C-alpha cells in the first residue's frame, strides 16, 4: 500500500492473520498488544497529518446495527473515515427487516454491494460469529447480546495502559451488572491475559459465584474491596435485558454500589474511574465523580476511535497487502 501522507505509519504486523474480530476470548496476549500498539500509532499518525489517512482508501465499511448505539456506531464510522474508507449505515428500523428479511440475507445483500467489512451489533449472542460463517468479507463484533464487545474491552485496556504504563499486577474491579454485560466479558478476557487481577462486584443477583470459573474474584461489598482497587470500571444496570428487577430499588443499589465522593476518600489516591457508557448519573456514579479528576470516561471515548481504526486496518490491511502482492484478497483465517 502507498499512503499519501508522509507522517510515520505503522508497519503491518506480519504475525497478524485474523480476518475477523469477534471476541477477546480467542485473541492471544500478543494479538491484544498488537491492536493496542497499532491504535496508538494510527492515532498519532492521524493527529500529525491533520487529515484523513489513505490506508483504506477505496474500501467500504458497513455498520449493520440491530440495536441502538451512540458511541460505538459513531466511533466506527469516524474510524473508517479517518482511514480513508467509505461507510454505509444500516439500521433495522425502516429497512427490509420489517418485511421479513433475515439477518443473514440482509448482511449478504449489503456485502453484494461491494462491502469489504461489516461491523455488526445484535441483541442475540453469537450473531457475529454466525455472520462470519456466511460472509466473505471481514466481520467485526460491535456487541452481541450479553456475550462480548471486543473493541470496548480493547479501548478500556488501552486507556488503563496509557494511564498506568502496564496492566501487569493492577487490580481492576468491574462493578455493576456483570450478568448481562458484554463489556465485562471482554474486559475479563483481555485484562487477565495482560496480567491484571480482576474483581467482579455487585449484587448476588447480578454477580454469581460462577464467575470464579473465569479466574476472577467475586465480591458483593464494594466498600470492602475498594482499598485494593487501582481501577474501577462502573457498568450500567441493563434493565432492558432483565425480566425482573434484580434489587429492591435503584436508590438502594446506588447506596451500595455507586461511586461517590465519600467512597473516593477511601480509595487509592491515584484510582482510575472508568465507565463504558452510557452513564446513569446518580445510579452507578455520582456526577462529581464522573466529571472529577480521576475520571477517564471521555478518554475512553476518544480511545474508541483509535482502537476501531486499528481493528479495521489490521483486518482489511491484510487483504490490501495481499492484493498488492497479487494474491487473493479473500484469503486468511
**Which single residue is written with the C-alpha cell 494479538?**
31
Indicate the Cα dihedral angle 96, 98, 100, 106, nearest 10°. 40
Beta strands in 123-225 (DSSP E): 138-144, 171-175, 197-201, 217-219
Would you please indicate which residues are annotated as catalytic (active-site) residues? 71-72, 99, 121, 149
Assess contact for 26 and 128: CB atoms under 8 A. Answer: no
Quote the CA–CA distance of 40 and 307 in Å, as a whole number: 8
Going from the C-alpha of 129 to that of each of 69, 98, 135, the distances in angstroms are 20, 23, 10
**Which single residue is written with the C-alpha cell 432492558?**
240
Half-sphere exposure of 286 (CA within 13 A, CB side): 14
Quote the CA–CA distance of 241 and 265 in Å, as a whole number: 33
Beta strands in the chain (DSSP E): 60-65, 86-91, 117-122, 138-144, 171-175, 197-201, 217-219, 231-234, 272-274
Assess contact for 176 and 246: CB atoms under 8 A. Answer: no
**How many other C-beta atoms are found inside a 10 Å radius of the C-beta of residue 266?**
10
What is the chain's length?
333
**Beta carbons within 8 Å of 164's beta carbon, 6+ residues apart:** 170, 230, 272
Closest by CA to 16, choosing from 247, 328, 321, is 321
Amino acid at each position: 500500500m502507498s499512503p499519501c501522507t508522509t507522517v510515520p505509519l505503522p508497519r503491518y504486523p506480519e504475525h497478524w492473520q485474523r480476518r475477523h474480530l469477534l471476541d477477546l476470548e480467542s485473541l492471544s496476549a500478543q494479538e491484544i498488544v498488537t491492536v493496542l500498539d497499532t491504535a496508538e500509532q494510527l492515532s498519532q499518525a492521524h493527529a500529525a497529518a491533520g487529515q484523513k489517512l489513505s490506508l483504506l482508501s477505496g474500501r467500504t465499511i458497513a455498520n449493520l446495527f440491530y440495536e441502538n448505539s451512540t458511541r460505538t456506531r459513531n466511533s466506527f464510522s469516524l474510524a473508517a473515515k479517518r482511514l480513508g474508507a467509505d461507510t454505509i449505515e444500516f439500521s433495522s428500523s425502516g429497512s427490509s427487516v420489517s418485511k421479513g428479511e433475515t439477518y443473514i440475507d440482509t448482511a449478504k445483500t449489503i456485502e453484494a454491494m461491494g462491502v469489504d467489512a461489516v461491523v455488526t451489533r445484535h441483541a442475540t449472542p453469537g450473531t457475529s460469529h454466525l455472520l462470519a460463517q456466511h460472509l466473505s468479507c471481514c466481520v467485526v463484533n460491535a456487541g452481541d447480546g450479553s456475550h462480548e464487545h471486543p473493541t470496548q474491552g480493547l479501548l478500556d485496556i488501552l486507556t488503563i495502559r496509557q494511564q498506568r504504563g502496564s496492566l501487569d499486577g493492577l487490580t481492576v474491579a468491574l462493578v455493576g451488572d456483570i450478568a448481562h454485560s458484554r463489556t465485562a466479558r471482554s474486559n475479563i478476557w483481555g485484562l487477565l491475559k495482560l496480567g491484571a487481577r480482576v474483581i467482579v462486584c455487585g449484587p448476588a443477583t447480578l454477580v454469581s459465584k460462577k464467575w470464579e470459573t473465569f479466574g476472577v474474584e467475586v465480591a458483593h461489598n464494594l466498600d470492602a474491596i475498594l482499598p485494593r482497587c487501582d481501577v474501577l470500571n462502573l457498568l450500567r444496570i441493563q434493565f432492558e435485558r432483565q425480566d425482573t428487577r434484580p434489587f429492591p430499588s435503584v436508590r438502594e443499589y446506588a447506596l451500595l454500589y455507586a461511586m461517590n465522593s465519600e467512597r473516593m476518600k477511601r480509595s487509592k489516591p491515584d484510582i482510575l474511574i472508568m465507565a463504558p457508557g452510557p452513564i446513569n448519573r446518580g445510579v452507578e456514579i455520582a456526577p462529581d465523580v464522573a466529571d472529577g479528576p480521576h475520571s477517564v470516561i471521555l478518554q475512553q471515548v476518544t480511545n474508541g476511535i483509535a482502537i476501531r481504526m486499528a481493528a479495521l486496518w489490521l483486518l482489511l490491511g491484510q487483504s490490501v497487502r495481499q492484493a498488492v502482492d497479487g494474491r487473493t484478497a479473500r484469503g486468511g483465517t
